[in-house]
Amino acid sequence: MVGVDEYYSFASNKFISFVKHYFFLHISPNFNSMNWLKKLAVFIFFLKVAICSNAQTNAIKANKDGLVVINKKRDYFTSIQQGPEKKMVAVDNYLIHAKYDWKYATINNFTHQVLYKHPAAYTRTQAAKALQLIEIDLNEQGLGLIIYDAYRPYSVTKKMWEAVPDDRYAANPAKGSNHNRGAAVDVSLYNLQTGDPLLMPTPFDDFSEKAHHNYMQLPQEILQNRSILKNVMTKYGFIALDTEWWHYYLPNAVSSFEILDFNFRQMRSLNQE
């Protein structure tokens, strides 16, 4: 899909080429060129106004909370034309040794509902490239990533908030989640040689104080494992969420990326186009 600026530039250039061609072939040398150029400038101005007005008519409407949520294919492709870094990519294409544990595709999660169907890990390109560097670093230490969650449809965030309306542990739909923006991941570590998960302070999605990064009343091995994960994630640009040892997100995600609401089959289709 062609963006507004690209369309305006294309239309203007085509029109100017046509008029120049017509002028040199059909207009006599005695024609008042200054008057002609003024009229041409006025025409181009109104052409741009018309195109911009049409773009505003087709603009994405904010929801009741004032959030712009992209759930249409054409709007998604328009957004990535405006900023290629907004492209969503399959994490599988960047990681070799990652394991996936989709708790939200089972009832074994804090909502006790199946929230995901046919899940796969997607993030913005920036996050996927960072995860690739993280995996290389971890592999040199004999470790690999376990991924619990990455991109999350906005509609799922609403269901989570209904179950746990506490913004220390669940994203308020009125603000949206960095998972919805494709800019957050929930991760842990495993031993590459044995395949066993490393011991961490709590299970995934535990909402006790033990899941906080500043909780220190833990065995030294667990403190060290948590520290290894945090150090490698922050080394490559992610920020740790204070209340969840597993949750990491990109800086400036709210201002950089729109909220998305595509299910996983739709996301897979978008990545194939």
What is this structure's pTM?
A: 0.78
Residues 251 and 153 in one domain: yes
Domain that holds residue 262: 69-272
Task: Just list the catalytic residues.
Answer: 244
Together in a domain, 53 and 74: no
Q: Are residues 46 and 132 in the same domain?
A: no
Question: Is residue 12 domain-resident?
Answer: yes
- Cα–Cα dist 132/72, whole Å: 29
In a domain, 127, yes or no: yes
Contact 146, 98 (CB under 8 A): yes
Domain stops at, among 37, 57, 77: 57
Nearest 10 degrees: Cα torsion 24, 28, 34, 39: -70
- Asked whether residue 126 is assigned to any structural domain, the reply reads yes
Same domain, 226 and 179: yes
On whether both 50 and 133 belong to a single domain, the answer is: no
Q: What is the pLDDT along the chain (273 residues), one digit of tens a residue?
A: 344 444 444 444 555 555 455 444 444 455 555 565 555 565 565 555 444 444 443 467 777 778 889 999 999 999 999 888 899 999 999 999 999 999 999 999 999 999 999 999 999 999 999 999 999 999 999 999 999 999 999 999 999 999 889 887 788 999 999 999 999 999 999 999 999 999 999 999 999 999 999 999 999 999 999 999 999 999 999 999 999 999 999 999 999 999 999 999 999 999 987
Q: Are residues 20 and 85 in the same domain?
A: no
The answer to whether 257 and 148 have CB atoms below 8 angstroms apart is no
Q: Is residue 62 part of a domain?
A: no
End-to-end CA distance of the chain: 12
Strands (E), the chain: 69-70, 88-90, 99-100, 122-124, 143-149, 184-191, 239-240, 247-249, 259-260
- The CATH number for 166's domain is 3.30.1380.10
